[in-house]
Amino acid sequence: MIFNSVTYLVFFPAVTLLYFLLPYRFRNLWLLAASFLFYMNWNAAYGLLLLGSVVITYLTALLMEKTSEQGRRRAVMAVGLLLNLGALIYFKYSGFLIDNLNLILPGREFKAPDILLPVGISFYIFQALGYMLDVYYQKIAAEKNFFKYALFVSFFPQLVAGPIERSKNLLPQFDEKHDFDVDRVRSGLLMMLWGLFMKMVIADRLCLIVDHIFDSYLEYNGMEIILAVALFTIQIYCDFSGYSYIAIGSARVLGFKLMDNFHHPFLSCSIHQYWKNWHISLTSWFTDYVYIPLGGNRKGRLKKYRNTFLVFLISGFWHGAAWNYVIWGGFNGMLMVLEEALTPLRNRALAFLKVDKESFSYRFFAGLGTFGIVVFTFLIFRAPTISQAVAMLRQIKARPSVVSLFGESWSRLAEAGGLEGIEPVAVLLAILLLLLVDYMQFRQKDVAGLVLSQALLFRWMVYLVLLGTIILFGIYGNEYTQTAFIYFQF
C-alpha cells in the first residue's frame, strides 16, 4: 500500500475514524494492527521480518538494562546488532556480495539467492537499532510494554521510508491522549495534499522525461543530458520530500509529531549546508550512531576528515547494493572534507574582496554552484551502472551544445517524456510554485499556517487548485511500479 493509491485513500480515513472513536486504552493496539496490515499489504511474509526485528531489539534492550557489567552489555548489544544487520545484509546485499565474489574468484560460480527486497527494511531496522543504541548508551530506559515498542518501530505513516524517528521523540507520544482537533487535522491534510502535489504532478511527470533520457542518452546532446540530470535532482527531491510531507501530515492528523526530513535543500550555499537540510533523519542518525562513536571531531582534524568520509561512504552503501551508490557516497564524503579544509582560505578571500556572505548576490551564486555540484553527483546516483555514468559524461563532453539551452532543449525533453499540450507549461509552473514555497520557508514563513489563517473562501481556493492540479496533471499508473516512491527501493 502506497500513499498515492486508492487503497490508502480508503485505509487512512478508516484508521483515523476508528482511532478517535475507540477508548484511549485500545488506540495503540488499533494503530499497531493497522500498521502491520499496512505493511503486509505488499507481502504477508514481510510482517514476520518486521516482527522479528521488533522482538530482537526489544529483548536486547531489556537484557542490556538488567545488567550493569559493561562487557555483558556490550556482548548483548553486539548480538542484537549482528542479528539485525545480518538480516539487512542478507536481504539487501547478498546478491551484490556474491556477484563481486564471482568477479574476484573467476574459477568458481556462486549462485546468488533469489530474494525479493522487503520494502522499507533499511528504514525500520535503522529505527530499531537507534532505539537499541540509545538504551546501550543509557540515553533512555528500555521500554517494558512490548506492544507500545512494536508500534514505535512499525508506525505506518513513517514505516517504509521514514523519517527515521528517534525513541526520545516518538515513544513518549504513544502515552499521550490525542483528541480530535480540527485545526491539527486541517494542517495535516494540507501537508498530505502538498506532498501528493509534489509526488504526482512534479516527480512523476519529470520521471517520464528522466527515464527516457537515461535509457537513450546517445540520442541527446550534452546540455540535454545535463538538464535531464537536473530534472532528476528535482524529481527525487519532490518524490522523497513529498513522501515525507504525506507521512508527517498523516501522523499529525492522528495527533503525532514526526521530525522534519527536509529544509529547502536546494537553497543551500554549501555542500555542508545541503547535507544538513537533505534527508535530515538519516544524516542525523549517522552523525549520532556512527560519526560520534568513531570520535567525531574530538581527535584532531585528520581523524575528523576520516570519520566524515567513512560516514558518507557507509551512507552511500545504505542507499543500495551497487558500486555507483558507494562511489556517490564516497564522492560526497570527499566534497565535504575538501570544502571544510578550504573554508579558512575561502573566508580570507571573501574578507579580502569584502563580500558579504548574507547578501543576495553571494547566496545566489553560491547556491547555484552548490546545486551544480549536487546535480553532478546525482548523475552517478541515477545511472544504473558506473560504465553508463562514464559514457554519459563522455557524451556531454563530445556534444556539449550549450547554445541549445536557449533553443529547443526543453521542447525536446518534454517531447521525449510524452508531455503534450499544456503539460510542459504546467510542470514548469509547478516547479516555480515549489521554489516559491521553499523560499518562503527559508525566510522563516509558516506557509501552511499562512494558508490556514486566511478566510474560508481563500483556503478552499488553495485546496481546490492543488486537488484539481493533481487530478488533471498527476500521473496515475500501476500502483507498485510507475508511481512507487523512489526511496522504497532503499
What is the C-alpha to C-alpha distance for residues 257 and 161, in angstroms, rounded to an integer? 16
- For residues 381 and 93, what is the distance between their CA atoms, to the nearest angstrom? 17
Q: What is the mean pLDDT of residues 314-330?
A: 92
* Other Cβ atoms closer than 10 A to 303: 14
Residue 163, preceding bond cis, omega within 30 degrees? yes
For residue 195, what is its C-alpha cell? 506532498
198-207, 391-400, 480-489, range with greatest mean pLDDT: 198-207
pLDDT tens, 441-456? 988 888 888 998 888 8
pLDDT of the residue at 480:
39
Sign of CA dihedral 426, 429, 430, 431: positive
Split at pLDDT 50, 70, 90, the class of 183 is very high
Contacts of range 92-100, beta carbons closer than 8 Å, 24 or more positions apart: 92/117, 92/121, 92/122, 92/321, 93/321, 95/321, 96/321, 96/322, 97/321
CB atoms within 10 A of CB 467: 14
User: Does residue 489 surpass a pLDDT of 80?
Assistant: no
Q: Which of 237, 272, 204 is nearest to 378 (CA)?
A: 237
CA distances, 370 to each of 124, 171, 234, 304, 381 (Å) = 31, 37, 14, 22, 17
- Of 212, 264, 279, 319, which one is the catalytic site residue? 319
> Is 319 an annotated catalytic residue?
yes
Q: Tell me, what's the pLDDT at 54?
A: 95
User: Tell me, what's the pLDDT at 44?
Assistant: 87
Q: Are 418 and 208 in contact (CB under 8 A)?
A: yes
Flag whether pLDDT at 479 surpasses 50.
no
> Is the pLDDT reported for residue 188 higher than 80?
yes
166 phi-psi bin (left φ>0, alpha ψ -120 to 50, beta other): beta
Is residue 483 predicted with pLDDT exceeding 70? no
Q: What is this structure's pTM?
A: 0.92
DSSP output for 355-415: --TTSHHHHHHHHHHHHHHHHHHHHHHHSSSHHHHHHHHHHHHH---GGGGGTTHHHHHHH
C-alpha cell at 77: 548489544
CA-angle at 318, arms to 317 and 320, nearest 5°: 70
CA distance 393 to 380: 10
